[in-house]
Amino acid sequence: MGEEPSLPARPGSAFGPLVSGAWLVDNLTAPDLQVIDCRWRYDHDGGTATSGRGAYEAGHVPGAVFVDIDKDTTGTQPGVGRRPPPEPAAFQHAMRRAGVSSGSRVVLYDDRSGFSAAWLWWLLRYHGHDSVALLDGGLPAWRGPLERGVAPRLEGDVRASQPRSDMRIDYEQMRQLPPAVVLLDARRPSLFRGEFEPKYPKAGHIPGARNAYWKGNLLPDGTFASPPVLRRRYLELGVREGAAVVAYCGSGISATHDLVALELAGLPGARLYPGSWSDWSARQDAPIEIGDG
């Protein structure tokens, strides 16, 4: 196996990007903590999405508030893919209803090891709220009792700042990227190779992309691999410290899982292409590649 790559020290003041189930049990009643349930289902074979509200009402972390990925965290801009980020005012309204305040430490979870929770992790940071973490392993990592129904909520006062333009990239910018930029495709290998495409106009991937399937960030128990293991994974995919990296997937959701993993690996700064394959495959002038790349 060889030695694991060294990992730079992370700033000690940062909250996240992960907390453990044990940490959440110990800190659940902290007055500045807000827990959000982000459960959401996407059928990659059929291309359909399902809200996790029913699962939330059947049992959730006590006090957690449900946020609907489609209704609360998806914008309305035309021509930028299937799931554009929400406008600041709409996002601020959704997060205030979820009880998020400017001083909140926010913990997010789903039941798929961060698959959809990572999207809200990225959005909160994109709109200026950095104090946010994923529950490592998702709901299965929670060892306390579950609460049924809908948790009472207090209105928060968070302010959604002007989005951080350096965290995302659009189609026109994608077309102008120099060859040295590392493109990471978080979709499963069969979609990356173009063996089938259930939802979007064309099958395949963006030329030059490397397949960084989001599940490759995880251990068998559904928690993230250790930082050194993640660092090795992304170094093998061509990522280098300080290098420009762009992540994409089908519609921007699972690519944010790779962004969490890169942060854990000590390789922060990658940008998201929110339009992802839903945008790229709809463009008549966009080149595509089939196979392993």
CA nearest to 33, candidates 41, 42, 24: 24
Q: Report phi then psi at 280, rounded to 5.
A: -60, -45
Q: Report phi then psi at 25, rounded to 5.
A: -60, -45
Per the structure block, which two tokens stand in for 233? 């994974």
**Which is catalytic among the residues 36, 100, 133, 249?**
249
Catalytic site residue 249?
Answer: yes
Per the structure block, which two tokens stand in for 134? 């994923």
What is the three-state SS of the chain? CCCCCCCCCCCCCCCCCEECHHHHHHHCCCCCEEEEECCEEEECCCCEEEECHHHHHHCECCCCEECCHHHHCCCCCCCCCCCCCCCHHHHHHHHHHCCCCCCCEEEEECCCCCCCHHHHHHHHHHCCCCCEEEECCCHHHCCCCCECCCCCCCCCCCCCCCCCHHHECCHHHHHCCCCCCEEEECCCHHHHHCCCCCCCCCCCECCCCEECCHHHHECCCCCECCHHHHHHHHHHCCCCCCCCEEEECCCCCCHHHHHHHHHHCCCCCCEECCCHHHHHCCCCCCCCECCCC
Q: Which residues are catalytic?
A: 249
